[in-house]
Amino acid sequence: MRIDAHLHLWDPALGVYDWITPDLGPLNRAFGADEARVVLSESGIDGAVLVQAADAPEDTEAMLTVAAANPWVWGVVGWLDLEDPDGAARTIDEWSGEPHLRGVRQLVHDDPRPDVLDQPQVRRTLARLADSGLAFDVPDAFPRHLGQAASIARELPELTVVIDHLGKPPRGSDAMADWERQLRDVASCDNTVAKVSGLGLAGVGSGVEDLRGVWEVALDTFGPDRLMVGSDWPVSTLHGTYAETVAVLGGLVGELSPTEQEQVWWRTAQRTYRLLVPASPPQATSAAP
């Protein structure tokens, strides 16, 4: 079984994706469920977790609509306004009957404030989130938010903290030592997991050997049972096709034992997001055309 634990869908016509601008070239268009179903199926991926791409309820609603209609979508990480504890509590209550909603995040890396996750109202929201059983994803955490993620994990041991894209290591930079130190600090908290995803950087190779250094750090810090793989599609298409991204991930994961491969390919994602994985996965082929 293989799960893509980090996949995006978006339609600029919704008017909420402010960061998707013409200068992003091939990303400046709609990416929908039908296209995603095809690329997942071609690479042998059985199911996926959809992850928010805008700090807006419309984005979450769109993902939940796709999830309800497509059996290859096994979970959704939606948006939650972290700075509105009371509103967040109401939203969590409204989601209580939604079977696909498994986690939340906010695009904190786009926030100009370096201490946004340390704001008192954010910590109150996360405390309420911990009681709900939903996971908390942190996008592109290095260099500003990786240390804050560790603080949150220690303060709220009942909250599952997910480090997207391994915190976004600055490969090829002198800052790699700082990234590794902060990642190890996060991993020292048992309630943290990390996604091996979104590692492509402009001007830096993204092949198996190019990523081996960060992969080995991730394995040493989290271990296979707290790592999951994700494509970060379609953002990943800036660095290669979906098939190429999965092939690189498969090259790294394939060096592990069969039991360890299971952990990274699907068991960590299933535990983290409490996914209702079907007994016979549809391998992204049974959605309506």
Q: How far is CA 154 from CA 12, 145, 164, in A?
A: 38, 14, 18
Asked if residue 284 has pLDDT above 70, the reply is no
pLDDT mean over 22-38: 97
Asked if residue 202 has pLDDT above 90, the reply is no
Instruction: Please give the CATH superfamily to which domain 3-273 belongs.
Output: Metal-dependent hydrolases (3.20.20.140)
Task: Give the β-pairing of 73-79 and 101-105.
Answer: parallel
- DSSP 8-state assignment for residue 165: G
Q: Please give the order of strands across the beta sheet that includes 101-105.
A: 3-7, 47-51, 73-79, 101-105, 135-138, 161-163, 192-196, 227-229
- DSSP 8-state assignment for residue 288: -
pLDDT at 281: 64
pLDDT at 283: 56
pLDDT at 278: 81
Q: Which amino acid is at 241?
A: T
pLDDT at 285: 47
Asked if residue 204 has pLDDT above 60, the reply is yes
pLDDT at 282: 59
Confidence of residue 279 (pLDDT cuts 50, 70, 90): confident
- Arithmetic mean of pLDDT over the chain: 95
Q: How far is CA 89 from CA 80, 81, 155, 161, 281, in A?
A: 10, 10, 19, 18, 33
Asked if residue 34 has pLDDT above 50, the reply is yes
| pLDDT one-digit tens code per residue, 52-72 | 999 999 999 999 999 999 999
pLDDT at 43: 98
Contacts of 49 (CB under 8 A, 6+ apart): 3, 4, 5, 6, 7, 73, 74, 75, 76, 77, 102, 103, 230, 269, 273, 275
| % of residues, the chain, pLDDT over 90 | 93
By the 8 A CB rule, do 74 and 48 touch?
A: yes
Count Cα neighbours of 237 within 13 Å in the Cβ-side half-sphere.
Answer: 14
pLDDT at 286: 41
| pLDDT one-digit tens code per residue, 133-168 | 999 999 999 999 999 999 999 999 999 999 999 999
- DSSP 8-state assignment for residue 173: S
Q: In the chain, where are the structural domains located?
A: 3-273
Q: How far apart are CA 259 and CA 198, in angstroms?
A: 24
Confidence of residue 288 (pLDDT cuts 50, 70, 90): very low
Asked if residue 174 has pLDDT above 70, the reply is yes
| pLDDT one-digit tens code per residue, 76-135 | 999 999 999 999 999 999 998 899 999 999 999 999 999 999 999 999 999 999 999 999
pLDDT at 280: 67
Asked if residue 243 has pLDDT above 80, the reply is yes
